[in-house]
Amino acid sequence: MIGPVDQLIVVGRKAVARGLVIGSGGNLSARLPGADACWVTATGTWLDELTAASFSYVRISDGAVLEGNPAPSTEVALHLHSYLARPDVNAIVHLHPQTSVLLDAMGHPVSLVTMDQAYYLREVRSVPFIHHGTVALAEAAADAIRDGCNCVILGYHGCSVVADTVELAHKRAANLEEAALATHRALALGGPVPACPPQYLDTVRRAEAAAAATRR
Ligand SMILES: [Zn+2]
């Protein structure tokens, strides 16, 4: 099994290839479950050129950069606040997906059209424009996911997508932009914008609750 850093390297390459972020925008992080430290992309790194040396190892509780590590991304606060808000989260993918951000800026909610989009995302929230790299933005994004939501559009900026694994965070981020593209196409065709029938998620939630009950 490959470790979180190697998984993030793959996600960075794929995210740029899919056009979910351009150049040195966006940043990625992961931690071992329950750990008070995370690997986060270092400042100035390009997501399609990541190596093991592109990551900073940062303590989550106080933001201290552990000795010998490069300076983390200027958006490190976004990651730290989200880990503090959600002990179950072990990976955070912050990208700049164009269609998601454009729809949000136009006041159109991103609709979850397909079963995949509904399954992986469940809900998309957004926070208004707040300058990137600030604690205010980190706090707003953390508040938006505190009750279990996993996907937030950051106004005029990008998205913050969280999960318990790097792979799932990546799937969610890719599905967000797919949903935004479908929403955009529906609007361009004159609408109305469809959404996956709610009985699908009702069925999924019942199955998940039954599975959780048998684990207890
Ligand atoms: Zn950003």
Q: What is the whole-number distance in angstroms between the Cα of residue 113 and the centre of ligand 1?
A: 26
Q: Where are the domains of the chain?
A: 4-215
pLDDT single digits (tens) 164-198: 999 999 999 999 999 999 999 999 999 899 999 99
Whole-prediction pTM:
0.95
Q: What is the whole-number distance in angstroms between the Cα of residue 160 and the centre of ligand 1?
A: 9
Mean pLDDT across the chain: 96
Q: Where are the beta strands (DSSP E) in 60-207?
A: 91-95, 125-127, 151-154, 158-163
pLDDT single digits (tens) 18-71: 999 987 799 999 999 999 999 999 999 999 999 999 999 999 999 999 988 999
CATH superfamily, domain at 4-215: Class II aldolase/adducin N-terminal domain (3.40.225.10)
User: What long-range pairs does 148-151 form, CB within 8 A, spacing at least 24?
Assistant: 149/122, 149/123, 149/125, 150/121, 150/122, 150/123, 151/121, 151/123, 151/124, 151/125, 151/176
**Residue 1 confidence (pLDDT) above 70:** no
